[in-house]
Amino acid sequence: MEITTNVIGYMQSGSLQSGLRVFLIAPLDYVQDGAFAVIDGGSLTTYGLVTDVTVDIDGAAVADVMPVLTAAPRGHARPVKTVPPHHAEVRMAAADDIADIFGRDEKGFFVIGYTREQGHPVRIDLDKFVQRSAGIFGATGTGKSFLTRIILAGMLHHNAASVLVFDMHNEYGYDDTASDTNETVTGLKTKFPTRVQVVGLGSGAMIRSTPPDFNLEIAMSDILPEDIELLARTLNLRETTATTLDALYKRFGKNWFREFKAMKNGAVTENEDGKKNPAPDSVAYWANEAGVNVMAAEGLRNKMNRVFGLPYIVEHPAADTISLIVDSLRSGKSIVLSFGEHERDLDYLLVTNLLTRRIRKEWENQVNAFRSSGTGEPRPLVIVLEEAHKLLNREMAAQTTFSTIAREMRKYYVTLLIIDQRPAQIYDEVMSQLGTRISGKLGDDDDIRAVLSGLAGRDALRGMLSRLQPKEEVLLLGWGVPMPLPVRSRRYDARFWEELLGEQDGGAVDPDEILRDLGF
């Protein structure tokens, strides 16, 4: 049989369960782990991944191929249900094969990377991507933040959804400097000045010496007892905390935080006989009236000093910036909330959960109104959460708004994009809800298992994931992509912006876009 271009071998044997055996005629250095192989078998074309390459004692080379999809001529690719015939021709995927499976250059299809062997563009459907929660994983130093910037830039350019980024380390809004190369890393605000608003946490906060669009202050009345219970590990709270907080809320309502802050530990009054009693403004006085254990109440008051001292929690904010954030997201803007100098876990846990709880309520109300009236369909919202394991571990997941979003909020147009280096620490119920998973190299077996949980072909993909290059190689997985595929990710550089925004644009503001954003 005549060998055509890109032919690597011929179908030898195999099954759906154990995979296909391909006799190789191509040089071994041409066929590598994770290569996208196409098997032309008469009436059906089978698409699969090379999962192993072996050489027999007599020098014959054989590749193992995991079949994933199959398609009839001019038909849509579907999950594979049969095997190709013996001696069917096996070739490396061409650009058209990649485009047939991962989409072509059309609106909504965004190039996330390129095939490692021949550099063919691989796209993701952004409209589909935002419909379910997703995750970006990889060990420290594998470029998760750069990949996140690339995907966010694609979403902003396509206008697929509003985005709320909880920017714990102030990386996404304004320009930054790469720690390893000292090169400028372009911020999303720089390229999308009319679509992105940067919010600083606390009055007068500056982000990389730049004033934000506005500042977020949290009203004391916005804080609920459940926000404090979420900090149980951080504040080392006791089991009695919930009882004390419940009593405070029953007595003072939404003013419980202000009233508890005003109470003093150990304050006493002395009567004419010299007998000392708890002063009316003391914790003990309130605890006795409420029937709460005094030591438990005073202990909680001491531990909450860390929260009471947070400068961005005030009795009367200068403006209702939480409502301003919600309104901006509803109107099509995207928000980067930079934490500035407030980078402790305490700040991150408290602010992200409190703000997201409000957003969840607003979007649920919008959707319910839309279903009743048929008008005013809500805009999709993606919430970007770094170091997700701090909020979505087994202990915390049940208490946070984020686990509810991962499980239920897709029907309310809200999804998560979580970024983490330790996916094994994320609650498995949350991991199971992630539609698309994009992972760089992971060295820990538990982390690899977590990323691959619930996916077909886990054993074959495990080795593929562990053998990725430390940087700029990722494995695309899950519901949001037609089949698993390792790719060489795009670089976040000037060329990326030229390709995304156009060489003539170069990131300049489009006057028509400004008018649209202003409502004209």
Model pLDDT for residues 46-79, shown as the tens digit of each residue: 999 999 999 988 888 999 999 999 998 877 899 9
Percentage with pLDDT > 90 across the chain: 69
What's the full length of the chain, in residues? 520
The residues, ordered by sequence, that sit 6+ positions from 278 with a Cβ below 8 Å of its Cβ are: 267, 268, 269, 284, 285, 288
Alpha carbon distance 353, 299 (integer Å) = 24
pLDDT at position 463, please?
87
Task: Find all residues with CB under 8 Å of 467, minimum gap 6, and list them.
Answer: 33, 34
Give pLDDT, residue 506. 38
Dihedral angle over CA of 72, 75, 80, 81, nearest 10:
-60
Please name which of 5, 159, 195 lies closest in space to residue 93, comparing C-alpha atoms. 5
Checking if the pLDDT of 399 tops 90, the result is no
Sheet of strand 121-125, all strands in order from the earlier edge strand to the far edge: 121-125, 109-115, 485-489, 473-478, 436-439, 134-137, 414-420, 381-386, 162-167, 334-338, 196-201, 214-216
Mean pLDDT of the region 118-146:
93
Residue 459 amino acid letter:
D
Report pLDDT digits (tens) over 451-475: 998 888 888 899 888 889 988 899 9
DSSP 254: G
Q: Per-residue pLDDT averaged across 323-338, rounded?
A: 95
Using CA atoms, how far apart are residues 23 and 6, in angstroms rounded to an integer?
14
Average pLDDT over residues 229-233: 90
Q: How confident is the model at residue 519 (pLDDT cuts 50, 70, 90)?
A: very low
Kindly state the average pLDDT of the residues 77-97.
Answer: 93
Among 1-10, 305-314, 424-433, name the one with the lowest average pLDDT: 1-10
134 phi, psi to nearest 5 deg: -140, 165
What gap in Å lies between CA 486 and CA 452, rounded to an integer? 14
**Average of per-residue pLDDT values in the chain:** 90
pLDDT above 50: residue 129: yes
Q: Residue 508: pLDDT band by 50, 70, 90 thresholds?
A: very low
The amino acid present at 43, given as its one-letter code, is: S
Q: How confident is the model at residue 5 (pLDDT cuts 50, 70, 90)?
A: low
